[in-house]
């Protein structure tokens, strides 16, 4: 999907895919290098940075898909905070909400890519018709 964002998306889609890619790299590194007791706080910090990154993109580019991705990241942050504060172990509900939420962010970015692609195609068609 990141390749599609870079090939057919605009700047917000490229930045959004880069945010997702960085998150996909950072989370396994946290599991690999940090001891288990310190992981929850670092995960929460990363989710906060992830959401903040989408907020900055939403304010900069004001695209509807960015608003959706930002709201989904807020839900993700709340999910992590709920399980950390409640000192609850990760269960099936956590896994389902986490995975659905992550898939939702990817779907939002995909909608953004298709919208940018259509806009590029319309612009190219108008330029070709004007000649």
Query: Is 68 a domain residue?
Result: yes
Alpha-carbon distance of 37 to 71, in angstroms, equals 28
Domain containing residue 91? 2-125
Residue 80: how many CB atoms within 10 A of its CB? 21
Using CB atoms within 10 Å of the CB of residue 83, give its burial: 0 to 12 exposed, 13 to 18 middle, 19+ buried. buried
Domain membership flag for residue 131: no
Please write the tens of the pLDDT for every residue from 97-127: 999 999 999 999 999 999 999 998 998 888 8
Average pLDDT over residues 68-91: 90
Residue among 6, 10, 15, 4 at smallest CA distance from 123: 10
Say yes or no to pLDDT of 39 above 90. Answer: no
Residue 101 located in a structural domain: yes
* pLDDT at residue 37 tops 80: yes
User: Is residue 111 in a domain?
Assistant: yes
CB-based contact 51:74 (threshold 8 Å): yes
Q: What pLDDT score does 100 carry?
A: 95
* Residue 57 in domain: yes
The pLDDT assigned to 26 comes to 93
What is the reported pLDDT for 38? 85
Segment 42-64, tens digit of pLDDT: 988 998 898 899 889 988 988 88
Instruction: Identify the sign of the CA torsion 97, 41, 26, 29.
Output: negative
| pLDDT tier at 22, thresholds 50, 70, 90 | very high
Cα separation, 77 vs 105, in Å, equals: 13
Count of domains for the chain: 1
Torsion sign, CA atoms 69, 72, 78, 83: negative
What average pLDDT does range 77-81 have in this prediction? 91
Residue-level pLDDT at 55: 87
């Amino acid at each position: 999907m990141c390749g599609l964002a870079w090939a057919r998306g605009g700047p917000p889609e490229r930045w959004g895919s880069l945010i997702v890619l960085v998150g996909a790299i950072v989370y396994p590194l946290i599991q690999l290098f940090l001891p288990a007791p310190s992981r929850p706080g670092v995960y929460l910090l990363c989710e906060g940075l992830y959401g903040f990154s989408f907020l900055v993109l939403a304010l900069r580019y004001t695209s509807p898909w960015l608003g959706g991705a930002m709201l989904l990241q807020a839900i993700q942050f709340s999910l992590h905070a709920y399980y950390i504060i409640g000192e609850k172990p990760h269960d099936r509900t956590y896994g389902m909400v986490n995975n659905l939420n992550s898939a939702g962010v990817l779907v939002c970015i995909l909608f953004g890519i298709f919208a940018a692609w259509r806009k590029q195609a319309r612009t190219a068609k108008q330029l070709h018709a004007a000649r």
